[in-house]
Structure 1
Amino acid sequence: MKGLYIVTRYLSFIFLATDLYMYFVPNENLSKCRALDNIQTGIGMLLVVCSDYFFILRTYVLWNKNKILLAAMLFTFVSVIVACFGVAFSTIVPAAYVTSTIPGITGCYRSSDSYQPFIPFLLLSVFQLGLMILMLIRAIQSSRTNQSRLYVVLVNHKIFYYVCGFLFSVTNIITPMLLQNSYQTILNSVQFIMLAILATHMHLHLWQVNRHPHGSTSALVHIPMSDISFENPTV
């Protein structure tokens, strides 16, 4: 998990650098644009894989490490990622690249009619909605069993991170209908980076709680992640 955390955290900087170079550096070489698009798409999808794995792991722990549920989530996630890769890369070769319609920007952009950008985000939003539903079911069960307030359980189960990831995907489904393609592709990149930030921030907070369950900086107590739940209001 530490290795995955490091990869997810610092890969976002590489993705951002590639993104900025592709969109803002003047370039009229179509072959170079396609190569940059390949690199950017690959790094972006890898960021999604790494980020969503944190949410899958969190859901797995909340469900008391149910291996059947883990297998179902991983199978669904792999299917979604394969479909996303297929949609993304199948349109790269025939895609037409144009200079941006945003004044002062002359980087590489796909023309608005060259592909359907919302399809991968539609698939991701469905998967993220499934994770949210699983988390909500578990939260309701926990609140009934321990007679805790539901909103406290939801906060402790990190509902904020799930909702944010889902809303970013929904935004990237809606924006192609409202904005020009140049603006919409930038929002795509924002989602990839924000997913990485949300996932790593969530896991970092869980690590801190695991090391200092009562806010103490002197005593280091090991608590399994499955025990980090609604009983402790400081979580």
Structure 2
Amino acid sequence: MVTETEYSNSAIAAGKSLQLLAYIYTSMATFWAYEYICSLQQEWTFLHRSRWTKVKVLYILTRYVPFLLLITNLYTCFVPDDNPSKCRTWVNIGSGFSIILGICSQSFFILRTCALWNNNRIVVVSMLLVSIAFVVTSISISFAASATAPFATSHIPGIAGCYQVMSNIQLFIPFLLYFALALGLMALTLIRAIKSWRTTNGRLYVVLLKHNISYYACGLLFSVTNIVTSLLLHYAYHAMLHDLQFIVLAILATSMHRHLWQMDLHTHVSDANVRFLLSEFSTPDRMAEYLVPWGEV
């Protein structure tokens, strides 16, 4: 057993933080595998029966990139490596997967928000510009911080993994941007819901709004949590929930998409409420491109 006389308090605290990080990543992988197995039948039905579109490709990326992210994280946590340069490489790979996952899962709801606004030109252009600025800024901050900050490993035997020694200010900015983006999308969804609630009461419309609000609320909660941990905690503790946010949001985005697809699959377009609902999302000429693909992709 390691005692304080053998190692400094700082070394023991760093080792404990790496152990906790390994437990969290293991729990994340277990949870992801369990959720995937439980939804395997729905997954196969969706992939087999839905037609190929851009949104289906987006779904596949959102669904399967977490496997790569979890494999990278587990390797970093459990394979002993005292080389800081190699550790930096693996952390950058994991950060790349996290960014891809965050972009893909958020893209679902950016598209839905634009559809709710009937593809209003101002809303679409604004969402596009804000999203590009968000992605570029997040990537720049994440990789710039990784390139300049040193990495440290534990010298205690039996504890693998490494953590990034960096200024806390660099860690919380991407999550602050994510918080602002999610808050803006939620505001647009609520404004649209208030404006059209009396005239549009279709079940598909209601489910779409509930999905959006639930997703944004979860994203806001995780973002606040990660901002707080990034500012207040040290060692590996400050990053212990970073990837958990993207994993959970990916699960929500894909499961909500399958749910909407199943609803649309059993909805008859001849229904008057559905016809009115479809018209709320798009003009008649573009109806099939936006709402119907949410059921067909």
TM-score interval, normalised by the smaller of the two chains: 0.7 to 0.9
Identity of matched residues, %: 49
Alignment of 1:62-77 (within 5 A): 62-77=116-131
Match of 2:188 in 1: 134
Alignment of 1:6-45 (within 5 A): 6-45=60-99
Number of residue pairs aligned between Structure 1 and Structure 2: 217
Report SS of the residue matched to 2:170: coil
After TM superposition, give the deviation of residue 83 of structure 1 in Å. 0.4
After TM superposition, give the deviation of residue 132 of structure 1 in Å. 0.5
Report SS of the residue matched to 1:91: helix
Larger Rg: 2
2:199 and 2:155 mapped to 1: Cα distance?
56
Paired letter, 1:139: A
Report SS of the residue matched to 2:241: helix
Matched, 1:166 2:217: no
CA distance 1:52–1:13, shift in 2 (3 Å) = same
1:8/1:50 contact within 8 Å kept: yes
CA distance 1:228–1:105, shift in 2 (3 Å) = farther
Q: Deviations over 1:144-168 (max 9, x none)?
A: 445x6xxx97654121112111211
Could you say what the CA RMSD is over the residues aligned between the two structures, in angstroms? 2.8
2:81/2:160 contact within 8 Å kept: yes
After TM superposition, give the deviation of residue 204 of structure 1 in Å. 1.3
1:47/1:196 contact within 8 Å kept: yes
2:169/2:231 contact within 8 Å kept: no
1:200 to 254, 260, 263: 254
2:230/2:239 contact within 8 Å kept: no
After TM superposition, give the deviation of residue 180 of structure 1 in Å. 2.9
How high is the TM-score relative to the length of structure 1? 0.82
CA distance 1:207–1:124, shift in 2 (3 Å) = same
Match of 1:92 in 2: 146
Moved more, 109-118 or 119-128: 109-118
1:99/1:107 contact within 8 Å kept: yes
1:115 and 1:100 mapped to 2: Cα distance?
24
Match of 1:233 in 2: none
CA distance 1:128–1:114, shift in 2 (3 Å) = closer
Matched, 1:4 2:58: yes
1:98/1:108 contact within 8 Å kept: yes
Paired letter, 2:196: S
1:50 to 78, 99, 104: 104
2:157 and 2:169 mapped to 1: Cα distance?
23
CA distance 1:2–1:155, shift in 2 (3 Å) = closer
1:59/1:134 contact within 8 Å kept: yes
After TM superposition, give the deviation of residue 33 of structure 1 in Å. 0.8
